[in-house]
Chains A and B, each alone.
Chain A
Amino acid sequence: MERRTFLKTFLKNKLAVIGFLGVLLIALSGLFAPFIALYPTGYGTEILEPPSAKHWFGTDGLGLDVFAEVIWGARTSLYVSLMAVLVAAVIGIPAGLISGYKKGIIGSIIDAVIDIFLTLPVLPLMIVIAAIVGSSINNVAIVIGLFSWPSLARVTRNSTMKISEMQFIEAARCVGIPSRTILFKHILLNIAGPVLVNLTLVMATAVLSESSLSFLGLGDPTTWSWGTILKKAWDAGAVIDTPNPWWWWFFTSFSIMLYVICFNLLGNGINDALNPKTRE
């Protein structure tokens, strides 16, 4: 795939560009959170103020600035989803490569494990495990990663199977290049596209899982995360009680949606740009 054609197709796809810009925006606000807003802590005097020039997203039940909470929450979400992707990649990519390349017992065993993991009830199990391992941000990230690798392994496996039948792999084998080099150099480079697409999708689902867990009270109570903000708003009755501080939950959940949609659009965009013909 020519790099220039890839960029050209990608840039022509408006939704993909929107997705990319959104991801960039979230990444920058998470990265530079300390320069954008003060870490929200303690109590404020202006309780449940609606959005204004001073407090863009209003203030919460403790008088803290919701905008600052959302920005610091972006940092947590980015960190957790990156960690989860890392865990998923470390397990999923080798598992997929090996099971796709090696036919025989090892391949079948890995394949069966992937199958079983895909039928497990993910969210209920995550809830149980998060309750076991305790609510530190790293634990939550690892738990999410441990449940995200099967889909990645499946994609890697299918792509590997296609590539391993090609002649250049056979040639490499005949020359006597060791399997490890073939797998992690020749094959991995050629399936980087679909793997990358799946990684962006894992980023998206990881943040949904993280927000869900912290909304259920299984997140890290010492850091700001989007799910934690929503839990506080929900517990305070901010959704259905009168008076109704809608800004408390609206901007936060909107950020979650923005994050997930942008990563999905980015993934779709990369996918389309990699396979211009199959877009139909």
Chain B
Amino acid sequence: MLKYMIRRGLKGLLTIFVSITITFFIIRLMPADPVSLLVDPKMGPEVQEAMMKQFGLDKPLIEQYFIFIKEAMAGNLGVSFKTRQPVVEVIMQRLPWTMLLLTITVAFSLLIGIPLGMLAAKKRNLFFDKLISTLVVVGISMFIPFLSFGLLYIFAYMLKLFPTGGAYTPPPGEGFAYYLDVARHVALPALTLVISNVGTIILYTRNGMVDVLKEDYIRTAYSKGWNDKYVIRTHALKNALIPTITVTGLMIGTMVGGAVMTETVYAWPGIGRLIYDSVSALDYPVLQGAFLVLAIAVVIMNILTDLAVAWLDPRIKLGG
């Protein structure tokens, strides 16, 4: 077990390293000159040079890369070109909002998706199953702006139930009123992400359940005279949910950055929106920091998923 953890941790570190290396050089390929954005053109060339030096932009690219890696390992991600705030601070302001949206989305997707998937498996090839499969295709095909526009049109424009964007009404209130305000703001972005992700959960739960119900040990359990509910709860469910857990892990890992569209439409102050804003501002340090966070999120979720699956299915030996 310990050996597995060490090996897995090393592989994770390698993945993070490769990922941030690729993104570092991709970001540096951006054509425009960040200095022109940093420095007021009225200032003389000496000021510009001093500025380049201050941000380490005067050194060769490869040296900048090694400095970035060295500093990142010490927990220093540099300073934002745009706001002059430390990048770690910028990201820490955004991360909780992403986590909030993510937690709500995943919780509701699982709460809705697992029961529907199980029901579809139980009634497989009947009308209900076919209806669900069709809806799943629609969900997987969802174009986020379309869904968001539709929800905004109905709930924000016509019914005026929810706000059109942002995470709270400025200035932020206090106590209960503040939480209620945030809840009203998170409703539509979360609903958007739930609708576009729940299909995947339903599909994997259904297919996992269909596979497990074919196994010999389930037939044995039935032949002992146990009823449906008991067999499914004690025998089938744990194994049937393994694919669901794997796909949920992947979903969380990618959603940290994959919610760019949702966060942009709803002006949600998360990591995805931060990436979009930083591209237009040529804010290299923030982009690098954001991509580092994404890589870490993916790796952590992969490790957690493997552990969860191994815990559910004792046949999988982590040592190997």
Which residues of A come within 8 Å of B, CB atoms? 15, 116, 119-125, 127-129, 131-132, 134, 204, 208, 211-212, 215-216, 230, 234, 239-240, 242, 244, 246, 249-250, 253-254, 256-257, 260-261, 264-265, 268, 280
Contacts and interface: CB of A to CB of B under 8 A. Distances in A.
13 contacts: A116-B18, A119-B15, A121-B254, A124-B257, A127-B260, A128-B30, A132-B29, A208-B141, A239-B153, A240-B152, A240-B164, A253-B146, A257-B143
Interface residues of B, number: 52
A253 B140 contact: no
Interface residue SS majority, chain B: helix
Greatest chain B CB density within 10 A among A119, A125, A204, A257 is at A119
Nearest to B148: A239
A132 B26 contact: yes
A121 B294 contact: yes
A280 B19 contact: no
B15 A123 contact: no
Contact of B137 (A131, A215, A253, A268): A268
A250 B147 CA distance: 10
Contacts, number: 123
A129 B145 contact: no
B149 interface: yes
Contacts of B275: 124, 127-128
Contacts of A120: 19, 22
Interface in B9-33: 15, 18-19, 22-23, 26-27, 29-31
A212 B256 CA distance: 17
B318 interface: no
A233 to B, nearest CB: 8
A246 B19 contact: no
A134 B150 CA distance: 31
Given A119-B15, A212-B261, A132 B146 contact: no
A112 B316 CA distance: 22
